[in-house]
Amino acid sequence: MIPEQYKDLLNTTALAHIATIGPKGEPQVNPVWFHWDGSYIQFSQTTTRQKYRNLQRDPHIALSIVDPQNPYRYIEIRGVVARVEDDPDLAFINGMAKKYLGVDQYPYHQPNDQRIVIYVEPEHTSQMG
């Protein structure tokens, strides 16, 4: 699914800019930390976030990742949310903190945050550079 020559972008610490469909059918987009497990793009959310509500309503999603070493090289991945998993012990978000911050524990966790992991199944890509 992911072109071989762009797979390296999925193992960088680039941010993924994730686009979802808002309540009025409008596009919304913001940057997130992500992990690629070879099959799915994964990212963390809290259950109160707009993005999670958007995806419950419409599971279509697109994400754009730019090569940190070359701003003229990027991949866009479009797909759907394949599943959502709980992250009760914060294993996933702590792993993201390790990847992006180099620390063992995600420092911004709030006691009432319910963390989930969203799995995106790629269906289509576009790329440049």
Q: Which residues bind its own copies (CB under 8 A)?
A: 15, 17-22, 25-31, 58, 60-64, 66, 71, 74, 76, 78, 126, 128
**Are the beta carbons of 116 and 85 closer than 8 angstroms?**
yes
Whole-Å CA distances, 46 to 36, 86, 100, 110: 19, 10, 18, 10
Least distance to its own copies from the beta carbon of 119, Å?
17
Q: Decide whether 53 or 78 has the Cβ nearer to its own copies.
A: 78
User: Distance between CA 38 and CA 44 in Å, rounded?
Assistant: 17
Least distance to its own copies from the beta carbon of 45, Å?
14
Q: Decide whether 91 or 128 has the Cβ nearer to its own copies.
A: 128
Residue 3: phi and psi, rounded to 5, are: -55, 135
Least distance to its own copies from the beta carbon of 20, Å?
6
Residue 7: phi and psi, rounded to 5, are: -60, -30
Q: Decide whether 22 or 119 has the Cβ nearer to its own copies.
A: 22
